[in-house]
């Protein structure tokens, strides 16, 4: 028993040290965001600034169309999240509850796409967007993100755990497959939907490379791309206080969606991992 306690103590100690190390960059971001420009150049960096200021936030929000960039990211992330919920849940229901030829083979083909690095898809995706005339439009930012193999896998794992009696009872009452999905399975999958929403929103919100490739108009820039351009737009010397202030603002939506969805996050992510 004493040996197990030592193991637990060491485990918690290492996890605590790891958590502190992972939190330090975030703490440094907060410190720089509230520090004057002169203090941001000090080395080593100060984690607890003595001269706290909010001027950095005022300057960021009043310059370089910051609210437009924020709006663009919000629109793209919300539409992408909503689209993934619809497409992934319907595809997952088909793979979990319907019977059709080559179902397992097609599902494995979907899963195999998760092993392909995102960078490999950039060239064919860009070519498709160019041929469709969607370069420098919201369509190029949103449409490619509406489908997710991970989302299909996550939702399917939940649907296969629901008892068959629900489906059979609905068929006896005269429900077709669409009604069974929309009125029974979809409402019951709230934990998985929230989990998928969190992953989808955060991924879309933080996306940098794809928006950088397909958008060349300042009016359509998303927040991550705009923050990267801040380095050359404020001063000859990089003003890290302003950049960190903008970055801190950009983190807030991701934190809020995780905080409000964490009630369902654990149950959604562990669905299907344990069988009775």
Quick one: pLDDT at residue 269? 54
Place of tokens 């934990």: 191
* Model confidence pLDDT, tens digit, residues 229-257: 776 554 556 777 788 888 888 888 888 88
Alpha-carbon distance 95 to 89, whole Å? 10
* Model confidence pLDDT, tens digit, residues 168-224: 888 888 888 888 888 888 888 888 898 899 889 999 999 988 999 999 888 899 989
**Banded model confidence at residue 165, pLDDT cuts 50, 70, 90:** confident
Range in 128-137, 163-172, 202-211 with the lowest mean pLDDT: 163-172
Q: Are residues 38 and 161 in the same domain?
A: no
Q: Are residues 46 and 70 in the same domain?
A: no
Q: Are residues 44 and 174 in the same domain?
A: no
Alpha-carbon distance 227 to 229, whole Å? 5
Q: Are residues 18 and 112 in the same domain?
A: no
Q: Are residues 100 and 206 in the same domain?
A: yes
**Which residue has better confidence, 167 or 74?**
74
Residue 79, domain member (yes or no): yes
Average pLDDT over residues 145-169: 88
Q: What is the mean pLDDT of the chain?
A: 83
CB contact at 8 A, 201 and 254 = yes
Quick one: pLDDT at residue 270? 56
Q: Are residues 127 and 257 in the same domain?
A: yes
- Per the structure, the count of domains in the chain is 2
Residue 43: domain span = 1-53
Q: Are residues 40 and 176 in the same domain?
A: no
Residue 276, domain member (yes or no): no
Q: Are residues 135 and 206 in the same domain?
A: yes
Q: Are residues 49 and 80 in the same domain?
A: no
């Amino acid at each position: 028993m004493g040996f197990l306690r030592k193991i637990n103590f060491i485990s918690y100690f290492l996890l605590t040290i790891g958590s502190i190390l992972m939190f330090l960059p975030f703490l440094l971001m907060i410190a720089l965001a509230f520090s004057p420009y002169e203090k941001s150049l000090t080395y080593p960096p100060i984690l607890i600034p003595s001269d706290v200021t909010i001027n950095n936030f005022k300057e960021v929000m009043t310059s370089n169309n910051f609210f437009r960039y924020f709006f663009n990211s919000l629109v793209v992330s919300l539409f992408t999240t909503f689209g993934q919920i619809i497409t992934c849940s319907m595809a997952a229901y088909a793979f979990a509850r319907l019977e059709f030829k080559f179902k397992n083979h097609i599902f494995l083909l979907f899963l195999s796409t998760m092993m392909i690095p995102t960078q490999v898809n950039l060239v064919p995706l860009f070519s498709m967007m160019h041929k469709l005339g969607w370069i420098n439009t919201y369509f190029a930012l949103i449409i490619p993100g509406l489908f997710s193999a991970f989302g299909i896998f996550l939702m399917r794992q939940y649907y296969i755990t629901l008892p068959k009696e629900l489906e059979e009872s609905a068929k006896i009452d005269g429900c077709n497959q669409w009604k069974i999905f929309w009125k029974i399975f979809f409402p019951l999958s709230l934990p998985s939907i929230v989990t998928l929403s969190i992953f989808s929103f955060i991924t879309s919100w933080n996306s940098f490379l794809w928006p950088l490739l397909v958008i060349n108009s300042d009016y359509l820039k998303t927040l991550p791309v705009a923050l990267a351009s801040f380095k050359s737009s404020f001063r000859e010397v990089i003003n890290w206080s302003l950049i960190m202030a903008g970055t801190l603002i950009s983190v807030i939506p991701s934190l809020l969606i995780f905080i409000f969805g964490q009630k369902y996050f654990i149950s959604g992510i562990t669905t299907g991992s344990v069988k009775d």
